[in-house]
Amino acid sequence: MSKFEVPYKIYLDEAEIPKSWYNVRADMKNKPAPLIHPGTLQPLKFEDMQPIFCDELIRQELDNETQYIPIPEPVYNFYKMYRPSPLTHAEFLEKALDTPAHIFYKFEGNNTSGSHKLNSAIAQAYYAKEQGLKGVTTETGAGQWGTALSMACAYFGLDCKVFMVKVSYEQKPFRREVMRTYGASVTPSPSMDTAIGRKILEDHPGTTGSLGCAISEAVEVATSTPGYRYVLGSVLNQVLLHQSVIGLETKAACDKYGIKPDVIIGCAGGGSNLGGLIAPFMGEKLRGEADYRIIAVEPASCPSFTRGKFAYDFCDTGMVCPLAKMYTLGSGFIPAPNHAGGLRYHGMSSTLSQLYHDGLMEATSVPQTKVFEAAEYFARCEGILPAPESSHAIRVAIDEALKCKETGEEKTIVFGLTGTGYFDMVAYEKFHDGKMEDYIPTDEELAVSISKLPVVD
């Protein structure tokens, strides 16, 4: 018998969708380091960013002070299409594990993009439209961000050009058609369409691409096409701001039912979901109002938190983007073809990097076969077929619950289930056929990649 008298799925009312985003930076004593200009190495000013980003999004990027930023009404109206998302009491999983732990997950997959990415996509598309732009460019790894942006652009009537990491483009052919349904154009990256794409292909023929490469291409097109700007689905402060809607709803649902999390777990690629999920909880922690154990989970094949260096680095492989101070494996690091495409990024959100550096959260890494074991187990217990990315959090949530079984502790575990795996069946097939491998970079590989970091400090 659970100590929580809660429905299996907690749906807040429509009126309980947060009216403002929460900006965790306002409560940080040590602010995230500013983006710096790759030429001058000086902190980027508003004007420096204008050729790349939408004006209002730059303001949000630079704003380390405002605690709450109102959600514009058209964005709020769009949120109604798929929010509030349910906070689910994983009672079937608890029973299967026979654990005294209480497990809850915030499920962001109940929308056509299949993930939380829509939360920021619609905000970014809105500000682009408000500015009178014609369109936006972006990159996508697993395809979730590209799909989300396509949906958002269709809603506001904006053009949308997506560069999709080649390995995902090939593994997920149907993602392209979803994006086309929403009117977007999709190009596999690296491509011959851009100068940087051609250079990358020359230097690394046969590369399966990376988020870093695709970012470079999208930025090149945005800055060279009038009326276009570049938008990004993770890493940036503005994205974590928009994604705070996940955490705010989670917190509201917890408060409503008296659920007090001991452990909060999220997968981490660039940090968009984790940063959003933990935002209000981290805020309480920063303000000394409460304490939570917070765990970032990353793939063993791309372990920026756990094996990277906290230093300034380029956000992209092509080194055309600004430099961010973050945990990084080096912008030249091209991760092995892990199936969690959305987590194949060499760096990590500056905000989360600072919080991790300050000891406010933990991080761990897991190999993909263990992740898919957890994914299948979860699917059979809880019905939902999870995305490989999300399954990193499932893996660690299960491991924590099993520890509770050993110790008898009744911990309350909350994790972020960022999305569904319907477009990841090639990966599941490999797993079922016993053909999935675990790629873990050697110390030497990482040392080489990290040794090439730009000299800034």
Between 76 and 439, whose beta carbon lies closer to a second copy? 76
* 257 in contact with a second copy (CB under 8 A): no
Report which of 402, 364, 380, 347 is spatially closest to residue 267, judged by C-alpha positions: 364
Contacts of 407 (CB under 8 A, 6+ apart): none
Among residues 108, 382, 389, 400, the one that binds a second copy under rule CB under 8 A: 382
Site for a second copy in 81-140 (CB under 8 A): 81-82, 92, 110-112, 114
Question: What does DSSP say about strands 9-10 and 293-299: parallel, antiparallel, or unpaired?
Answer: unpaired
* 4 in contact with a second copy (CB under 8 A): no
- Shortest spacing between CB 389 and a second copy, in angstroms: 16
Contact 385, 423 (CB under 8 A): no
| β-bridge mates for residue 21, sequence order | 69
The Cα-based distances of 354 to 24, 102, 289, 452 in angstroms read: 12, 30, 20, 22
- Shortest spacing between CB 384 and a second copy, in angstroms: 6
As a whole number of angstroms, the distance between CA 444 and CA 218 comes to 31
Helices within 7-72 (DSSP H only): 46-49, 55-62
70 to 89: interface string for a second copy, x by CB under 8 A:
----------xxx-------
* 159 in contact with a second copy (CB under 8 A): no
The per-type count for the chain, helices as H runs and strands as E runs, is 18, 15
* 19 in contact with a second copy (CB under 8 A): no
Between 154 and 195, whose beta carbon lies closer to a second copy? 154
Site for a second copy in 166-205 (CB under 8 A): 173-174, 177-178, 180-183
Contacts of 11 (CB under 8 A, 6+ apart): 84, 86
Contact 269, 336 (CB under 8 A): no
Site for a second copy in 404-423 (CB under 8 A): 420, 422-423
* 452 in contact with a second copy (CB under 8 A): no
* 11 in contact with a second copy (CB under 8 A): yes
Angle at 432 between CA 427 and CA 433, to 5 degrees: 95
Among residues 426, 437, 447, 456, the one that binds a second copy under rule CB under 8 A: 426
Site for a second copy in 294-313 (CB under 8 A): none
Give the residues lining the site for a second copy (CB under 8 A).
Answer: 7-9, 11, 13-15, 80-82, 92, 110-112, 114, 151, 154-155, 173-174, 177-178, 180-183, 376, 379-380, 382-385, 420, 422-423, 425-426, 428-429, 432
